[in-house]
Homo-oligomer: A and B are copies of this chain.
Amino acid sequence: MPFRIEATSGRARAGTITTDHGEVPTPAFMPVGTVGSVKNIESRELKQLGANISLSNAYHLYLRPGLDTLHKMGGLHKFMAWDRPILVDSGGFQVFSLADLRKVKEEGVTFRSHIDGSAHLFTPEKVIEIQRTIGPDFVMPLDELVGWPAERQAADDAAQRTWRWLQRGLEAFEKSEPLYGHKQILLPIVQGSFYDDLRVREAERLASLNAEAYAIGGLAVGEETGLTRKALDIVTPILPEDRPRYAMGVGTPSDILDAIGRGVDMFDCVVPTRNGRRATLFTFNGRLNMKNAKHATDDSPVEEGCPCPCCSQYSRAYLRHLYVAGEFLAMKLGSAHNLSFYFRMMAEARRQIEAGTFEGWAKVMIPRFGAPEVVEA
């Protein structure tokens, strides 16, 4: 079994996922390295910041550098000099959000590259082949997702197709082998939009597969927070207790802490790096807008005790100056700090679960990040 639950606090779980690239303590946050690089952060910096697993994207890697290059270079781990686990998203989301002229048929989805307009077809089988070549530890099948709001019929159709595509993906997965000597695990994706009965149906039939881990998709597509929470409340109790659960694209610190409390174990989101590039920084006291004039002569670090390259070297005053002057280094320092915060937040969540105090702690923390205004330390 690749997953061991070590403690619970309410519905929150602390565990360990075992892979051929090492162990991942959960709850775990996966930083997003879309094209095989977490923006502005070196692989060894990512380790130092506390990442135990990272995420990349099959759609992007398939288009560039391409499968031939990745295969010749010995797979993504070797290519990006990262020896910890990797999860690769199938690219379904990118096909639906980035590509041009996409057309969904039962066979698969045709689209044109957002880079050069070239025509491509992703089938459930092709997506497995792509991920065998990329070589992540965790493989995602091709799914069809709908945004929100979505008509019930469209949501149902997409969920049904996702189920049929999963059968084909699983068959292709079972008939193929890993290329680089380490085990790969496929995560079925629960779709169903925000229709409760669809979520129940999908969660139940996926649970029956007894997969090694599960993903919950179709979240973080613009819905109200209440809908995300309800979907998680419906799905997580149906999924097998002893398998890790990954909420795709979730999210902000508040959303992650909330979802941990609803039994989710794995997360990914561009929020820490994207916000870091745009001068919004997270601390345990809330959010900071680092361009704010109040920081202009503030000699203190962004967050006391934070071991990141920003807080361990520089003052808020200096970081503000870099953002205001448009210096590249600001994007790096802000991204590194936010990632450090995310990893420290996950570690603290784990400690709170082990102590059985997660619920009370999360109740205090969540509002600090939820306010639309910048909350100052």
Contacts and interface: CB of A to CB of B under 8 A. Distances in A.
Interface of A: 35-37, 39-44, 60, 64-65, 68-69, 72-73, 79-81, 296-297, 299, 309, 313-315, 317-318, 321-322, 324-325, 327-329, 331-333
A297 B69 contact: yes
Given A44-B313, A79-B318, A332-B332, 10 more contacts: A35-B325, A36-B321, A39-B329, A40-B329, A42-B332, A64-B325, A65-B325, A68-B297, A72-B297, A328-B332
A155 B4 CA distance: 78
A69 B318 CA distance: 10
Contacts of A72: 297
B328 A331 contact: yes
A328 B39 contact: yes
B64 A314 contact: no
A315 B73 contact: yes
A317 B65 CA distance: 9
A142 B316 CA distance: 32
Q: Taking each of A60, A314, A328, which has the highest tally of chain B beta carbons within 10 Å of its own beta carbon? A: A328
A313 B42 contact: yes
A328 B325 contact: no
A329 B80 CA distance: 12
Given A80-B318, A81-B313, A327 B35 contact: yes
A291 to B, nearest CB: 12
Nearest to A325: B35
A321 B64 contact: yes
Copies of the polypeptide in the assembly = 2
A38 to B, nearest CB: 8
B328 A73 contact: no
Given A81-B313, A318-B80, A65 B35 contact: no
26 contacts: A35-B321, A36-B321, A37-B322, A37-B327, A37-B329, A39-B327, A39-B328, A39-B329, A41-B329, A42-B333, A44-B309, A64-B321, A65-B296, A65-B317, A65-B321, A65-B324, A65-B325, A68-B297, A69-B297, A73-B317, A73-B318, A79-B315, A79-B321, A81-B318, A328-B328, A328-B331
A296 B68 CA distance: 10
A263 to B, nearest CB: 35
A172 to B, nearest CB: 26
Contacts of A65: 296, 317, 321, 324-325
Nearest to A310: B42
Nearest to A320: B65
A315 B313 CA distance: 29
A297 B73 contact: yes
Contacts of A332: 40, 42, 328, 332
A61 to B, nearest CB: 9
Nearest to A318: B79
